[in-house]
Structure 1
Amino acid sequence: EKEWGLIDGLGLISIALASYFGSYLAETIGFVYLLRVSSLVFLLSTLPLLLTLPRLRKYIL
C-alpha cells in the first residue's frame, strides 16, 4: 500500500510539472502549435496499441 502511495505521489508531481512546463511552453511557442504537437504525440503513442488489436487492425489497414 505504501508503494502505491509513492507511485501516486510521483504521478501527481509529474503531472503538475508537465502542466507547468506545458503552460510555459504554450506562452512561448503558441498554444495552438503545442496542442497540435501533443495530439500528434498522443496519436503516435496509441497507434502501436491499436495495431496490436486484431479487430481494429482490419478497420485501420
Structure 2
Amino acid sequence: MIRTAPEFDLKSCRVNKIRNRADLVVLDGNPLTVPEDQLANLQVEMTWVDGELRYQRED
C-alpha cells in the first residue's frame, strides 16, 4: 500500500535507527503527482541497496 502525504501517520511508522542502511530509489519525477498514463515514463536516477550506491544514471 502506498501512503500519500495526507494519509501519512508518523506514529504508525518504524523509525530507522541511526547507522542502519536503507534501500532507496530516486526517480526523476514524483510518482504521486505524475498523471497515471505517464508513470511508465519516469526514469530511475539512482538506486541504493543496503546503504551502497548500486546504480546511477549517466547523462
For the aligned pair, the TM-score class normalised by the smaller chain equals under 0.3
TM-score, normalized by length of structure 1?
0.23
Higher helix share: 1
Larger Rg: 1
Q: Of the two structures, which has the highest relative contact order with CA contacts closer than 8 Å and spacing of 6 or more?
A: 2
